[in-house]
Amino acid sequence: MADLHGLHLDDQVAAELPDWAETVAHLRTRRPVVEVLRAARAAGRPVVQPRCGVGGHQQMLDLLRALEPAGPGVLSVTIDSHTRLRHFDTAAETLARDPGDLNGYPLVAHGWQRGRELADAVGVPLEVRHGSPDGRELFAVALAAGLTSYEGGGIGYNLPYSKNVPLGHSLRAWQQVDALCGVLAEAGVVIDRELFGTLTAVLVPPSVSLAVTVLEAVAAAREGVRCLSIAYPQGGETHQDVAALRAVRTLAARYLDPAVEVYPVLHEFMGVFPRTRSYAELLILHGGLLARLGGAAKVINKTHQEAYGIPEAEANADGIRGAALGAGELLDFVRIDEDRVAEEQHWIEREVAELVDPVLAEGELIPAIEAAFAAGRLDIPFSASIHAHAQVVPRRDRSGAIRYADAGALPFSTAVLRRHAALLSEPPGTPERSPFEAATADIRYFLDHEDRFHTRTPHYTRSENSQRF
């Protein structure tokens, strides 16, 4: 394999890259994503970023240009599944046969020159979003293209997506990515490394999400990364979500060097999305408001077509505007129960400490993370990976907050476990539900709200009533 300042690359991919000095010089000419995040923090309002990626180059250019007028702070280049799995030849073959068969933009197959055309096509910077347990080649091409933000990490981009990729492999691959970010930082080029706290996106307890991103953040910072975006997925209960977002800065102060810039990011609700446009748009607006209340620097928006598949460009633009409206001045009058938020934040931070501190207390971080997942002391609910126990059973309490019905082998204190048990206790006379019935109701949380909201409004599928979109 070729070596790019410690980044081990496939020889064929490496041979097509430009000279490293030219890459660094080009990166210096770009407006980096970190500048957008700094401005958002200074303004006290999050910027909005959509997910977007299609196979064809011209179609991708058209999509970016169609979304820019909606006012995003950052635009995405969402990568196709073949490239995510390093099947670059398959991605290239599919691209040549029919770009419409790809579920994202195959950046490696298109090449860094076309990547620069994407970056030049719009006035806002681009981020690469993918889902690769090993994204080294993709990262090298993204750098050559002039892209200054790269999502992913060795845990969050492995266990939710892959069935059998050893944690040690993904963690060491991302260690090389982070180390190259350190090389660039010393050269004056700051790459934003966003960590995907959303995980499996279904009923993820806040402390599980934050514990994973804290460990990935510590690993990245040790390699020299100087800008970290720590993402958290909207769970559904406002006080708990605001507390989790605010905890990002507290945890960063506790576990990271002050020289590392840290920006909280909110992923709008990633679970089963409402089917009606009116309720879906209400949830999108609520996500923007939540991001502002929680002090996020960025919010990743959803669309009113989310329940039906990949959104059309117009729907995505509407989603950007809806999230921005929720984060805007119009809703500045909204206040929440700060005492309740503070209590949630206290317990979230305590739970994260009980998960993270034993791992950090061991000698080498990567073997310690591997050992913790192997023993179930770290775990992710609903993970399909054989490298996670997936024994954690989350459940919503009566307020909608996500609690631990079964913490598996997570090393929580008695006080933490008692609190979750108490919050999940039902009043006398409450009808008993089977675990399957309870899980189904919790997953359908916003659908049930929608049903009550639209009691007399029939639901339509996308094909049944396209004018609704």
Active site members: 84, 151
User: 48 has which bridge partners?
Assistant: 299
Tally of CB atoms within 10 A around 1? 12
What CA–CA distance (Å, rounded) separates 136 from 123? 27
Backbone phi, psi, residue 47, to 5°: -85, 165
Could you tell me if residue 393 is left (phi over 0), alpha (psi between -120 and 50 degrees) or otherwise beta?
A: beta
What CA–CA distance (Å, rounded) separates 366 from 344? 30
Q: Going by DSSP bridges, is the β-strand pair 75-78/261-267 parallel, antiparallel, or unpaired?
A: unpaired
HEC profile for 40-100?
HHHHCCCEEECCCCCCCHHHHHHHHHHHHHHCCCCEEEECCHHHHCCCHHHHHHHHHHCHH
What CA–CA distance (Å, rounded) separates 281 from 453? 13
**Is the dihedral angle over the CA atoms 7, 9, 11, 17 positive or is it negative?**
negative
Burial of 22 by CB count in 10 Å (0-12 exposed, 13-18 middle, 19+ buried)? exposed
User: 148 has which bridge partners?
Assistant: none
Give buried/exposed letters for 355-386 (b at 16+ CB in 10 A, else e). bbeebeeeeebbebbbebbeebbbbbbbbebe
What CA–CA distance (Å, rounded) separates 376 from 106? 36
- DSSP code string of 229-277: EEEEE--S-HHHHHHHHHHHHHHHHHHS-TTSEEEEEEE---SSPPSSH
Kindly report the length of the chain. 469
What CA–CA distance (Å, rounded) separates 327 from 20? 40
Return the structure tokens found at 367. Answer: 């073997």
What CA–CA distance (Å, rounded) separates 192 from 150? 6
One-letter identity of residue 466: S
What CA–CA distance (Å, rounded) separates 252 from 215? 11
Quickly tell me which residue has 């930082």 as its tokens: 185
